[in-house]
Structure 1
Amino acid sequence: MRILHTESSINWGGKELRALEEIRWLNAHGHEAWIAARPNAKILEWARTWNVPYFEVPFRGAVLPAAMSRLWSLMRQYRFDLVHCHDAHDAMHGAVLRLLGAKVIRTLHSEGISRRKLQQLIWRHGSDRVIVVSEVLKQRLVAMGVSSTKIEVINEGIDLAEFNFRRTGDKIRSEFNISSGCKVLTNIGMIRPNKGQRYLVEAADAIVAAIPDVRFLLVGEATRMEFDEELKSSLAACSQRDKFVLTGYRTDVADFIAASDCVVISSTAEAHSRVVPQAFAMKRPVVATDVGGLPELVKPGVTGTLVPAADPAALAEAVISTLKADNSSILDNAYSMALERFQIDGMMQRTLACYERALGTNR
């Protein structure tokens, strides 16, 4: 099967990473897949690093003749079986390609669903199948008029060889001079308001009062300069700022999780999560907010702990309780969930089945 993946964002985050992971898996399993993206997009930098085949396409906010001409030329030259769109802007181009006879898949990776009439029309009619990363996103699309029969819920997939619970945290503890007895709280994600890092900063006083020997690792980079400045401003006002480390973007996520005594998801909006299944696979406790698709993963008292969003006091209480508790049964449950639902091979087999259904769809 030949698949053209498209991604119009210039940033680098979870959805861009998932797109490249899908392409790499497809190419390693007998298929042919490419990524089409803007010339200055970060996803192309990583495509070059990972030897992922790519095309440069001048995507912008609207459907532009130059981008459509390039895409149509690629469709004719390479005879792709289908197009898989990962962002709203390239999905508009995908909708036009579908009108021209192409088979189109679209993935919804985030909670940012536009309410504009044109975008709703594209959701309903611009693709043959829609993949969503959580059940809550499926229900939101159904409420907008998208047929439930064309929506597939396909969660994140993780590589258990990389996210292995036997991995030690020695590398990270050594790098940041953290003693073996010090508790490590890790938040992994892009630095932006809806990731809620500020609420972990605001919870720090209460956490340190209960557990003085603790460090906070904030792993990720800001998508905008002002987001970085806002977080640093919050830290400057925090009396525990010396216990925080801002690592910037890192590729060694598994090492950070291995070094953690608790993984904290403090988001105010989250369609699903890559980090939660990774922590489950590595048998690390998770405290997360009860937003978006997170409650589909984190079951209170079963696979982790949920707290209200934007509530530093509740977040602190949950973290303290988790660090002091015997979490062995919860960790076993979470690990079982990771094995059953979140392996990358399973994710991609479901994706291939979705492709096959799209190719058999009567337009």
Structure 2
Amino acid sequence: MHILNIESATNFSGGVNQLIINVLGLKKKGHKVSVACVYGSPVYERLKDKGIEFVFIDEDKVFKSALIIRNFLKNNDVDIVHTHHSKGHKMGLIACLFRKKEKLVVQRSVMFPALDLFKYHNPRIDMFLANSIAVKDVLERYLVNPKKISVIYSAVDYEKLKGVDRNKARREIGVEGFTFGVVGNYSDFKGHDIALRAFAKLKRDDVRLVFIGKDTEKLKDKVISLGVEDRVKIFSFVPDAYRLIAGFDVLVIPSLKESFPNVAIESFLLKTPVIGTDVGGIPELLKDGRGIIAKPYVDGLKMAMEKALEIDLDGIRNKAFEFAIDNLTADKKVEKLEKLYYELLK
């Protein structure tokens, strides 16, 4: 097969990481994989030495980029066009209009409403690929044809995690005692403030909280106002932050909106137990004893943190690891993706 991926993003994100996993996994299986992306973007930088053919597009010029992609399709024997992120979706859809050969797959990995009729109810789209059942439910709620929706969970490259050392991570974090960690870029819907306030209400001098992620330094004034500056550490952005997850006793995902957090999968495979809010695709991951599910407000997270401090976490740790090995590794994901593509081409 020849697969063209379209990724318009200029920042690194969980979605970008999933595209990279797809591209490298499919190439390893012997397929030809091309990528339409912005020159100098994280996608380009991470794949430029991997033998991938690139088509360069402009994130801010959707129609022009669509014409560039359409020209590439005319001159190359492409079987699957797989779009990622909102602008990439639109570019791919315009590029494929009135073309019958290529199968068009639209990746959907967010919980936002599917309101654009052109993008979500267009008959040219062959398949929507949701990264969780929760995302599938959102698409169906906005009347997307259920027969055109498949679910393949996000995944993590387990090989890169095998060399992570807990003791080294602990030293790098520089904390002692039981440690909760939050990993994710600061935003209104990621719940950093809720996690901080819940932690402050614990009133435990022997417990620590660590924040890692872009713009998390915005929490510093709130940390001081809550009087917990001696128990909270903020690292801001850290490259390859998964290295430090092994240093936490528990990872906390306090999101108010979340489709299927990559950081939870990394934690599963690193055997770091997870607390997550009861929103989006998080319960899919944590159900059946694979984590502690919290209500998405301050007292709900506080209760979950207290539970983590009281119980034996080994059962959670082992169940989560086994589930991830069986369902959430890059190899498992690529096998399912390849099968989906072949079914579309029948």
Normalised TM-score (structure 1): 0.87
Match of 1:307 in 2: 294
Residues 89 and 119 in structure 2, CA contact (< 8 A), matched pair in contact too:
no
CA distance in 1, matches of 2:49, 2:183: 22
Match of 2:25 in 1: 25
Match of 1:113 in 2: 113
Unaligned residue ranges in structure 2 (runs of 5+): none
Which residue among 206, 209, 214 is the counterpart of 2:207?
Answer: 214
The offset of 1:107, in angstroms, is 0.8
Residues 270 and 291 in structure 1, CA contact (< 8 A), matched pair in contact too:
yes
The offset of 1:265, in angstroms, is 0.3
Match of 2:318 in 1: 332
Distance 1:252 1:96, change over 3 A: closer
SS in 1 for 2:88: helix
Match of 2:132 in 1: 134
* 1:169 equivalent in alignment to 2:166: yes
Q: Percent identity?
A: 23
The offset of 1:342, in angstroms, is 1.1
CA distance in 2, matches of 1:133, 1:6: 17
- How many residues are paired up? 344
Q: Which runs of 4+ in 1 moved over 6 A?
A: none
CA distance in 2, matches of 1:49, 1:178: 38
Amino acid at match of 1:266: P
Residues 173 and 247 in structure 2, CA contact (< 8 A), matched pair in contact too:
no
Distance 1:155 1:84, change over 3 A: same
Q: Deviations over 1:188-218 (max 9, x none)?
A: 12221111111111122223x23x2233221
Match of 2:6 in 1: 6
* 1:201 equivalent in alignment to 2:196: yes
Residues 275 and 294 in structure 2, CA contact (< 8 A), matched pair in contact too:
yes
Normalised TM-score (structure 2): 0.91
CA distance in 1, matches of 2:27, 2:150: 22
Cα-Cα RMSD: 2.2
Match of 2:158 in 1: 160
Residues 182 and 212 in structure 2, CA contact (< 8 A), matched pair in contact too:
yes
CA distance in 2, matches of 1:155, 1:44: 24
Distance 1:98 1:7, change over 3 A: same
Match of 2:339 in 1: 353
Pairing of 1:220-239 with structure 2 (within 5 A)? 220-222=213-215, 230-239=218-227
Amino acid at match of 2:59: F
CA distance in 1, matches of 2:29, 2:186: 34
The offset of 1:238, in angstroms, is 2.8
Pairing of 1:51-66 with structure 2 (within 5 A)? 52-60=52-60, 63-64=62-63, 66=64
Moved more, 16-25 or 261-270: 16-25
The offset of 1:274, in angstroms, is 1.1
